[in-house]
Amino acid sequence: MSDAEEAPRESTGQNGETEMKEEEEPNPNYKEVENPQEELKDDTLAWRESQEEERKKGEEEGEEEEEEEGEEDKEIAMEETQEKAGEAQEEEASGIQKETTVEPQEMKKSMTSLETQITDSQSITSAIFPTTQRGSESKPSLQPEDSEADEFLDLDQISPEEQQMSSPERQPSGELEDTNQRPQDELGRERRDLEPEKKEEGQERSVSSTQSIAGISRESLVSTTTEDVLFQKDKSAPVYPLTLTWSFGWNSSLPVYYVREEKQRVLLYVCAHTVIIYNVFRNHQYHLQGHANIISCICISEDRRWIATADKGPDCLVIIWDTFTGIPVHTIFDSCPEGNGIRAMAMAHDAKYLATISDAEVQKVCIWKWTLAVETPACTLELPKEYGFQNYLTFNPTNNKELVSNSKTQAIYYAWYEERDTLAHSAPLLTEKTFNKLVGKFSQSIFHLNLTQILSATMEGKLVVWDIHRPPSSASTFLGFPYIKPCKLVHLQKESITVLTTIDSYIVTGDIKGNIKFYDHTLSIVNWYSHLQLSAIRTLSFSKTPATPPTEKSNYPPDCTLKGDLFVIRNFIIGTSDATMYHLTTDGTKLEKLFVEPKDAICAISCHPYQPLIAIGSICGMIKVWNYEKKRYLFSRVFEKGLGVQSLTYNPEGALLGAGFTEGTVYILDAMSLENESPEPFRYSRTSVTHISFSHDSQYMATAIEYDLLRSYKDHLEVLDIHRTDQGCYPTCMVWYPPLTRELFLLICNSGYKVKLFNATTKMCRKTLMGPAYGSPIEQAQVLPARSMAELPKRYLVFINRDKVGLQILPVDGNPHKTTAIVCHPNGVAGMALSYDGRYAFTAGGHDRSVVQWKINSSVLEAAVSLGGEDLTPFYGLLSGGRKGKFYRELEDYFYYSQLRSQGIDTMETRKVSEHICLSELPFVMRAIGFYPSEEKIEDIFNEIKFGEYVDTGKLIDKINLPDFLRVYLNHRPPFGNTLSGIHKSFEVLGYTNSKGEKAIRREDFLKLLVTKGEHMTEEEMLDCFASLFGLNPEGWKSEPATSSVKGSEICLEEELPDEITAEIFATGILGLTISEDSGQDGQ
């Protein structure tokens, strides 16, 4: 990711300082004014009186009491913002025939959205935003809603002051606690209850009607919450088995934003697929969760109220959040259906519009009217490939219809003509001949403070100045589109410019050497910070609070002008390329290091055996130790260059920490100081040390590397025993099964989504069970430590797969309700650790440079199991059609038919009716219902049934009933049924490419493979099988005498089998299977 895309976008107009002061003025008054609505009454009093006179003329005397009650309700809606919404149901006199009516309690929780054309004070009372999910902070739900159910306020009518007042602190935050947790079904119902009026009626809606609706919805969180409500302690009961509680690390490739500074210092940054709102003083994180892919870009409105985030990957999303409540107010689905997500994004200065540039091969610029809750952009523009890959975008701070973007080679100016539905652009090509000098690659572009020029910074330390040529405005004729033209090249400095932004009356740059410089509108330097000894600047974000005017006690530095005035600038946040974040207090030039995080992949994590400590190791050579209960950083160590931490493990006593490195060395460190315990590290390998394990008494330590088993010899690792765990699948992880039974087991997960239990002594496969199927097989699993002796009989398994962390109730029995999982690292999970008390799980994200802490709430999962039903009820749901479906009826028929078959089809003796079938019949029933187990798998099934009660009773079982058969079938069958993709893989290995480009096997080779490879058949068995498949044999295994000759069967095969057999012919033509094209696992 280039430096150009990684810096923030802060820009204000020439009078930006005055504008910010105007926005800040209302803030101190929120708590001083008991009823801010009183200030708004005067503006609408005259209008409302005229409307009341018109209403009274057309109403009967019998309705007078109802009208008076309605007026009282309206006054309450305007004046008493702390009371609950009343049940006001009245007829409006503004042309609306029917008023939208909802239950008051639902209205208290809902977020009604309005699209009105009101001005001044009425805009403030009705600045409501879209209805969205308000779940717990760990999992906001982002279900798509019908856009017709969302109406939005037109922000054209709101001044900057009013925009800030659109969410005043009108209600004590304590009243909002009961609305933080919202069930999904309630939200969906409320959205349906809030269906808008017909378009014709909506156009005639009066301000009185708007007041009525706004009065009801005034208690929605988005419209009434304060800045302090976000970090209130959530005392509600847990609703998810795994809840995100803390994120270690941050994505230094994306901007960090200074959200608030007045009462508390609040920052905004990204960690993997989660947005973090971090309160520095309280050391508290609030997590905005909703993306399933890594977040690729983030931007924030000028007033720091609205956040927009976008991701890259399948089913990419663009989400707009409210920083006061953490609520996702709008979600854009399918923002880039042709590409792979969003590459660059910017929000207009007034927050009305959102602009995005896709990450596709042919990039597309889109402008979204997100306040209208629309799913399609207002305008789009496809960019030619020769423009380069645009990776930075920003709006003109004083004109939300102008934008500028740049790639490394070309800057583009955009002018949006909304009435013409046109996004015009100008992209003049810049070469070395333009200025007869080397220009360099562009990093970022902004609009000049004078508003008539654009500035583009380059990696050569230069600034390209572009003149904007705007045609004179004419109401009658169109005089052409505006365009830009290169004006001059300014050599600002020697160092590469990585950040370019504006604040107040200054143009600010950050460079690759860590210098931060301030220029005036003439590009004359005013001041700089070069003594801070920072690495390359990635992002600069200034506080929205204007700088405090200098006093006698102030310690502002003088600027470098001839006058030597004091350099007064806002406080700001600095993000650097080495993943370090700083806060600079300009009064006194106090640099505070907020946190230093690993700048490279995190693959190693380990929890202390009896203290709340977690050690985190990165490929950059850093080991950090945190107290995960207090969320406090303790100490760290950075190893010399070339030593990347690959694995970490505490010894059982917690005194030592073993560290394995990427180049094969192993260090034994003191757990409390990270100093070397041994004089020299161990060097027994040239490859990465992937695992470290201590013996129970800490006398021995084992390390794991890639090892050549065939070439092991004396004095080196010797392989004592090898046991194959499966035929077609490979094992992915193994743990000791907790002592829940009298038999000691090894639990092994494999690539076929199966969990197998092996006897620890005999290595016999004792059980095969359906494991969690969440898109990829389990890659690592650990048994959760018991918190007390009372919890020993009830144990849990924590697991990770490719991108998720999950919880499984033991014992595993195939019940789908006993497991749950959540996306933790979309680009892959690198490691997992559990706290010593079993309360938390930690996952490392590898290249996303983050570690996530998850609180485990096992009682929630237990409740889900109880709701899922008992006995076979959960298993019936795994069958097509369920208990009453066609498949289960066929299964019953085959099961009871096998009883007849075992007693003889043609016998005349009395039938013995039973609820069981003998084990020898089990394979035939399996194959009859479409599951074709191998001989080894059949042997495993027999052992599982025969020895099921042997440890407890000492007896072997030789029969099985229908419920047990159903469990065995569901646990052993392929998790996604018969898939053509699996057969294709086999043909790619065994076949050749024919003239049509398909993988095929010749008939002779096909028959030879059947009798020589794998669980090969005898020739007689093969011929009998083909005779049955082609319908030449009656029921039964052996052929009739008339068809049993080999010669006749050979002739039959030559006629029935084609010369070339493809995967499709084999699956459908020969076996006659109904096969799905896809495995379906990606959608799980």
Peptide bond just before 975 cis, omega within 30 deg: no
Give dist(CA 678, CA 504) in Å, integer. Answer: 57
Confirm whether 814 is domain-assigned. Answer: no
Give dist(CA 212, CA 206) in Å, integer. Answer: 10
Confirm whether 249 is domain-assigned. Answer: no
Top pLDDT among 110 and 274 is at 274
Helix (H) or strand (E) run with residue 593 in it: strand 590-596
List C-alpha distances in Å: 466 to 370, 443, 503.
30, 15, 20
Confirm whether 563 is domain-assigned. Answer: no
pLDDT at 975: 87
Give dist(CA 286, CA 290) in Å, integer. Answer: 13
Strand order in the sheet with 819-823: 780-783, 796-800, 804-809, 819-823
Tell me how far the alpha carbon of residue 829 is from its chain's centroid. Answer: 13
Confirm whether 998 is domain-assigned. Answer: yes
Give dist(CA 972, CA 933) in Å, integer. Answer: 8
pLDDT at 209: 41
Q: Are 630 and 693 within one domain?
A: yes
Q: Are 904 and 1049 within one domain?
A: no
Q: Are 1006 and 887 within one domain?
A: no
pLDDT at 336: 82
Task: Name the residue range of residue 1079's domain.
Answer: 980-1083
* Across 68-77, 255-264, 558-567, least confident range: 68-77
pLDDT at 1018: 86
Q: Of 684, 718, 752, which closes a domain? A: 718
Task: Say yes or no to pLDDT of 956 above 50.
Answer: yes
Give dist(CA 1080, CA 1054) in Å, integer. Answer: 36
pLDDT at 375: 85
**Number of helices (H) and strands (E), helices first, in the chain?**
23, 55
Top pLDDT among 674 and 930 is at 674
The predicted model gives 185-199 an average pLDDT of 38
Q: Are 39 and 176 within one domain?
A: yes
Task: Say yes or no to pLDDT of 736 above 50.
Answer: yes
Residue 542 CB-density burial (10 A; 0-12 exposed, 13-18 middle, 19+ buried) = buried
Q: Are 170 and 215 within one domain?
A: yes
Q: Among the residues of 947-1018, which ranges form H helices?
A: 950-953, 962-972, 980-990, 1003-1012
Task: Say yes or no to pLDDT of 668 above 80.
Answer: yes
Tens digits of residue pLDDT in 203-249: 333 434 434 433 444 567 787 777 767 887 666 778 899 999 999 99
pLDDT at 670: 94
Tell me how far the alpha carbon of residue 922 is from its chain's centroid. Answer: 44
Give the predicted TM-score (pTM) of the model: 0.77
Q: Are 1041 and 1008 within one domain?
A: yes
How many domains does the chain divide into? 4
109-133: burial string, b at 16+ Cβ within 10 Å, e else: bbbbbbbbebeebbbbbbbbbbbbb
Confirm whether 439 is domain-assigned. Answer: no
pLDDT at 707: 59
pLDDT at 717: 65
Tens digits of residue pLDDT in 12-53: 333 333 333 333 333 333 333 333 333 333 444 444 444 454
Instruction: Name the average pLDDT for the chain.
Output: 78
Percent residues over pLDDT 90 in the chain: 48
Residue 1033's pLDDT band (cuts 50, 70, 90) = low
Q: Are 965 and 990 within one domain?
A: no
Q: Of 679, 700, 718, which closes a domain? A: 718
Q: Are 1049 and 1023 in contact (CB under 8 A)?
A: yes
pLDDT at 985: 86
Top pLDDT among 911 and 403 is at 403
Structure tokens at 849: 């440079």
Q: Are 348 and 322 in contact (CB under 8 A)?
A: no
Residue 941's pLDDT band (cuts 50, 70, 90) = very high
pLDDT at 565: 87
If you write DSSP's letter for every residue of 507-565 in order, what string do you get? Answer: EEEEETTS-EEEE-TTS-EEEEE-SS----EEEEEE-SSPPPPP-TT--PPB-SSSS--
Structure tokens at 83: 């009371």
Q: Are 118 and 219 within one domain?
A: yes
Q: Are 996 and 959 within one domain?
A: no
Q: Are 203 and 94 in contact (CB under 8 A)?
A: no
Task: Say yes or no to pLDDT of 382 above 80.
Answer: yes
Give dist(CA 459, CA 422) in Å, integer. Answer: 33
The predicted model gives 621-627 an average pLDDT of 95
Q: Are 952 and 987 within one domain?
A: no
* Across 60-74, 267-281, 676-690, least confident range: 60-74
pLDDT at 134: 35
The predicted model gives 480-492 an average pLDDT of 91
Residues with Cβ within 8 Å of residue 668, at least 6 apart in sequence: 656, 657, 658, 659, 676, 677, 678, 681, 682, 701
Confirm whether 673 is domain-assigned. Answer: yes
Q: Are 1045 and 959 within one domain?
A: no
The predicted model gives 736-756 an average pLDDT of 92
Domain of 959: which CATH number? 1.10.238.10
Task: Say yes or no to pLDDT of 891 above 50.
Answer: yes
Positive or negative, the Cα torsion across 141, 143, 148, 152? positive
Confirm whether 724 is domain-assigned. Answer: no
The predicted model gives 919-940 an average pLDDT of 90
Q: Are 164 and 45 within one domain?
A: yes
Positive or negative, the Cα torsion across 667, 671, 675, 678? negative
Structure tokens at 896: 């009871």
Top pLDDT among 218 and 142 is at 218
pLDDT at 825: 95
Residue 447's pLDDT band (cuts 50, 70, 90) = very high
* Cβ atoms within 10 Å of 52's Cβ, excluding its own: 14
User: Closest Cα to residue 121, out of 37, 50, 224?
Assistant: 37
User: Closest Cα to residue 468, out of 524, 398, 387, 523?
Assistant: 398
Q: Among the residues of 361-467, which ranges form H helices?
A: 432-435
Percent residues over pLDDT 70 in the chain: 74
* Across 18-27, 590-599, 660-669, 1045-1054, least confident range: 18-27
Task: Say yes or no to pLDDT of 587 above 60.
Answer: yes
Top pLDDT among 874 and 708 is at 874
* Across 21-35, 145-159, 286-300, 679-693, least confident range: 21-35
pLDDT at 527: 93
Residue 1044's pLDDT band (cuts 50, 70, 90) = very low
pLDDT at 2: 39
Q: Of 920, 945, 972, which closes a domain? A: 972
| DSSP conformation class of 17 | H
Task: Say yes or no to pLDDT of 833 above 80.
Answer: yes
Give dist(CA 407, CA 409) in Å, integer. Answer: 5
Confirm whether 700 is domain-assigned. Answer: yes
pLDDT at 1054: 76
Task: Say yes or no to pLDDT of 677 above 80.
Answer: yes
The predicted model gives 333-342 an average pLDDT of 82
Task: Say yes or no to pLDDT of 636 above 80.
Answer: yes
